[in-house]
Copies of this chain bind each other. A is one copy, B any other.
Amino acid sequence: MKNAVVLLSGGLDSYTTANVAKSMNYTIYALSFDYRQRHNIEIQSAANIARQIGVKKHIIIPLDIFSIAGKSALTDSIAVPENRSEEDMSKDIPVTYVPARNTVFLSHALCWAETIPAYDIFIGVNAVDYSGYPDCRPEYIAAFEKMANLATKAGVEGHRITIHTPLINMKKNEIIRKGIELGCDYSLSISCYQPALNGASCGICDSCHIRKKGFKEAGIPDPTPYMES
C-alpha cells in the first residue's frame, strides 16, 4: 500500500478524487482547511466524507491568510454572484476566486506528504466545467509539481512527487457518474458557496448551478437539499 495526501474540501470533486485514490489502493491521508470560508460548513462534510471513505488520518488546518488578505467573495464582505448564465460564468475570473488558494493548499499537502512519507498528492481540480480559476489549469499543476520536486528533501533524494488530478479533463456529469460507480454518497458533500445555517444549499450560486446541471446531465437524482425547493 502506498500513501497519498488527498485535499478534501467537502465538495463533490474532492470526494470523488479521494475515492479514485482509494480505488488505486492508496492509504489516504485527508487534508482540509478552515480558512474562515463563508461556506465553513463544508468542513463538517469533509469530516463525514473522510469517515465514509475510511481514511488513515484526517487533519483540519486553520489558515488565517485568506481572511486577512480578503478580496474574495468567499472570505470577505463581497456578495456571492447569483443566477449567472453559463456565458457570464465563463467570461472572467469570478469574485469567488481566492488568491493563491490552491498554492497554499498544495504547499501544506507537500509538507505533510514529506513527513508521512507520501509521494503522491491528489487534488480535485477541474478544467472543463471551467470555473475561471487560474489555479485549476493543467499548466499550473505541472508547474507546481516541478517546483515541489525541487523544493523538498524527497525530491532531492530521488523520490518523484506527483500531483494527481484525476478529474482535470472530466465534465461534472462524468465526475458524478464516476463517483457513483466508486461508491460516493453525494448527500454527504456540499458545493454551495453560501449555504444556510441548516446546511441547505442556495441553489443559485455558480457552484450550485454547476452541481445541479451535472446531476441532471448524468441522469442521477440530486440528493442536495436546496433552499428554494
Interface residues of A (CB under 8 A from B): 59, 61-62, 64-66, 68-71, 93, 97, 99-104, 107-108, 110-112, 114-115, 134-135, 137, 139-140, 143-144, 146-148, 150-153, 155-156
How far, in angstroms, from A79 to B110 measured CA to CA in the complex?
24
Known: A62-B64, A146-B147. Is A99-B152 also a contact (CB below 8 A)?
yes
Q: Kindly list chain B residues whose C-beta atoms are within 8 Å of the C-beta of A112.
A: 65, 68-69
Q: Is chain A's interface secondary structure helix, strand, loop, or mixed overall?
A: helix
Across the interface, do A110 and B114 meet the contact criterion of CB distance under 8 Å?
no
Partner of A134 from B97, B144, B155 at Cβ < 8 Å = B155
- Tally of this chain's copies: 2
Residue of B59, B70, B99 near A68 (CB, 8 A) is: B59
Given contacts A93-B156, A143-B146, contact A135 B114 (CB under 8 A): no
CB A85 to nearest CB in B, in angstroms, measures 22
Chain B residues with CB under 8 Å of A143's CB are 143, 146-147, 150-151
Contact across chains for B115 and A107 when beta carbons are under 8 A apart: no
For A139, the chain B residues whose CB sits under 8 A away are: 150
- Asked if residues B66 and A64 are in contact (CB atoms below 8 Å), the reply is no
Q: Which residues of B contact A156 (CB under 8 A)?
A: 93, 134
